Amino acid sequence: MSLFNSVPTRPSTMSRGMDRAIGLPGTPPAHGQVNNLQSLARAVAGGLGGTVTPGLAPVSMPADTYVYLLQDTIMRLREAEATIAEQKDRIEHLETLSMTDELTGLLNRRGLVEAFRRELSSTRRSGLGGVLVIVDLDGFKAINDMHGHLCGDWYLRQAARTLKDNVRAHDIVARFGGDEFAILLTHTDQAQGVMRAEALSDIFNAGTCQWQMLNLPLRGSFGIQPFAAGDQEEEVIRRADAGMYRAKRQARDGR
């Protein structure tokens, strides 16, 4: 592997250091810089396919050649920096896509779990917990069957928007899968968090979704589970999910 195919751990620092060593283009290095430049030039020559021998005496090479080799090295390092930055941006973009629901723009299940783990870590430090809410839409299959999947997609978007618009900016809303959503009400005590979750349920179930000439009611069953320091995300999710199914059964039974 050549020198230019190896990316240093701190290329920007090396680039700045070599910029200072070189000075202005076309200006021969000062006498005090010659030894350093000779050593680097020998390394560059070796990277280009030459032979580097330990203890090699200073090579006889015009100062302009040293400058050219070093400037070429800096250029290649800067190209490597640009490539690394571009690849980093692409990786971050792909990671964002992998945690985002394409239809609603909310976090998906994976994104929610990652966010919940971070929130639990914060809870262990601050001691202030929160509430997890699982929402399952009621009668969604009938909407798809009667009005088609385009209507169903629009209904999901409206449900997502209603939930998102009625929580705080630092709360987290996700599409948990299918017609199921999850909300993390963060940095709140248990009593206040439960009250906010119940208020969100009332707002949601009083809402509607406009589709063409239809005015479809928004309906969902809410499972509410507080969490605190020491809780594990899997257990909190399981309890919130169980609470959602209890609420669904109660609604179906008319209670």
Enzyme catalytic residues: 179
Phi, psi of 62 (to 5 degrees): -60, 150
Pairing of strands 208-211, 172-177: unpaired
Q: What is the dihedral of CA 152, 96, 110, 181, to 10 degrees?
A: -30
**Do residues 134 and 240 make contact, with C-beta atoms less than 8 angstroms apart?**
yes
**Do residues 220 and 135 make contact, with C-beta atoms less than 8 angstroms apart?**
yes
238/195 Cα distance (integer angstroms): 21
**Do residues 196 and 188 make contact, with C-beta atoms less than 8 angstroms apart?**
yes
Residue 178: both structure tokens together? 């299918």
**Do residues 64 and 23 make contact, with C-beta atoms less than 8 angstroms apart?**
no
**Do residues 155 and 214 make contact, with C-beta atoms less than 8 angstroms apart?**
no
Strand partners, 130: 227
Residue 207: both structure tokens together? 């809402």
Residue 43: both structure tokens together? 């390394």
